[in-house]
Amino acid sequence: MLKLIWRLSLLVLAALAVVWLAERPGSIAIHWQGQDVELSVFVGVILLVSLFAVLFFVIWLFRRIWRAPAVLRGSRKARREKRAYEALSRGIIAAGAGDSAAAARHAAIAGETLKHEPLVKLLGAQAAQLRGDKAEVARVFEAMSQHHDTALLGLRGLHGQARDQGDWQAAHQHAEAALSRNQGLGWAQLAMLHSLTRKQDWQGAAKIVEKMAKSGALAKAEAAQKQAALLCAAAMASEEKDKAAALKLASEAHALDATLTPAALTMARIYTTQAQPKRALKALRETWLKAPQRDLASAAAAAVDDTPEDKFERVRDLVGKEPATAEGRFALAHAAVLANRFEAARDILLADAKSEPAAGICALLAQIYDALGNAETSKSWLSRGLSAQADPMWMSDGRPVAQWMPLSPVSGEVVPCEWRSPQHRATQHQLALQPPSLAAATKAEAPLVLAAPPLPDDPGVEQDS
């Protein structure tokens, strides 16, 4: 619309100029080489404009003729590039379809013209991969890694090839080189994380997770959880050698994720050896309020070397006089048994006895009734425990594990290791591990965590008694 208005305006201005000249008559006299020529002003202007038009046309025609060879060469180059890009497109499609011969053929056609096009090099590498020519693939990726525009693509290809060949050191070096060029590369960060966890460099892996959170590759909540798990693993690994460093790492993990039981337990163990029971109990209480777990109560009982009665009071102070969770009731009942409060232990477990308690509670009730002299009821609870739900245990990626671990036993990823009941029933072997009498347990402290069941072949299938 604006162009149309502009053109109409020019036409109007031209018409007004013609009218203006026509209304103002006059003459122009030209004397040149003895010749006199007299023209009207209007005709003179028309002739001048025509002369300029002819001059411009001659210049334009001369330029077209002068540039014709270059235009022809450019046209041929454009046609060649068009055919090359068409070949590149067909080659990528062929590589995606798994046709190695067609991919290699189109890559060769495109490479004749598009020698510096990164996609041509990538297509050549894909064609070589389809043929199984690993040496050619390595050569192409190595060449790409030497150029600034294709360096990251080449390093990623080299990393993938090294990883597939099991050369973890080379894979680590390629990922590290990629991160030195771009700190926000998600694949390189993840590759470094896998490499460091594989070497059990937990602190280095925690720093990578922190960088992933800053770059947006991980959500802050997920990153905090993973970082806490890695720092906790580092603390547990260094606990025997350097307790001060282990305490610092465990405290950082606890600050990031207060639900992480192993971090609180590590802090409690170190504070206990340093004769600082108040700090140990504080860490245990903070975690208990968010994630009740029987090991926390066991650590609270062991925070001070005193009588079983005092230990019972500390556990009750931790879990409450009337625990709201099965873990709390189990922990308090176990502490009561160690303090020879069998009737109190029985009363604590009344709520569980009326429902479907886990195998550990069934075994504990059997022990309590045996100590109270009620053998029939003890046998009844032992029998009931044979078909009861298995006790809570550490579960990682759907698999039961013997102890807490930061990595999945399935994928090797940093995943939450949770304390919960597996989806299978208790076995007779699990109950057989429980002593029929508490006579020996009352003389010395027995471990709070009952023996874990053997790892089932399929955690998702119930086993018959």
Q: What local confidence, expressed as pLDDT, does residue 302 receive?
A: 93
Decide: 260 and 288 in contact? Cβ < 8 Å: no
Count Cβ atoms below 10 Å from residue 125 Cβ, excluding itself: 25
Q: What local confidence, expressed as pLDDT, does residue 424 receive?
A: 57
The answer for residues whose C-beta is within 8 angstroms of residue 27's C-beta and 6 or more apart is: 38, 39, 40, 41
Domain locations in the chain? 49-160, 292-460
Residue 230's Cβ-side half-sphere holds a number of Cα atoms within 13 Å equal to 26
pLDDT digits (tens, 9 = 90+) for 265-324: 999 999 999 999 999 999 999 999 999 999 999 999 999 999 999 999 999 999 998 899
SS (H, E, C) 255-289: HHCCCCHHHHHHHHHHHHHCCCHHHHHHHHHHHHH
Range with the poorest average pLDDT among 108-117, 224-233, 424-433:
424-433
- Residue 343's pLDDT band (cuts 50, 70, 90): very high
Most confident of 103-107, 153-157, 283-287, 347-351: 283-287
Count of residues in the chain = 465
Name residue 157's beta-bridge partners. Answer: none
The candidate with the shortest Cα–Cα distance to 113, out of 152, 86, 142, 137, is: 86
**C-alpha–C-alpha distance, residues 203 and 140, integer Å:** 35
pLDDT digits (tens, 9 = 90+) for 174-215: 888 888 888 888 888 888 999 999 999 999 999 999 999 988
What is the full DSSP assignment across 164-222? HTT-HHHHHHHHHHHHHH-TT-HHHHHHHHHHHHHTT-HHHHHHHHHHHHHHTSS-HHH
The two three-digit tokens of residue 1, written as one number:
């619309």
pLDDT of 78 above 70:
yes
Q: What local confidence, expressed as pLDDT, does residue 425 receive?
A: 54
Residue 379 or 142, more confident:
379
**C-alpha–C-alpha distance, residues 351 and 111, integer Å:** 77
The two three-digit tokens of residue 226, written as one number:
């993973």
Parallel, antiparallel or unpaired: strands 399-400 and 35-40: unpaired
pLDDT of 21 above 80:
no
pLDDT digits (tens, 9 = 90+) for 221-233: 999 999 999 999 9
3-state secondary structure of 435: coil
- CATH match of 49-160 with 3.30.420: no
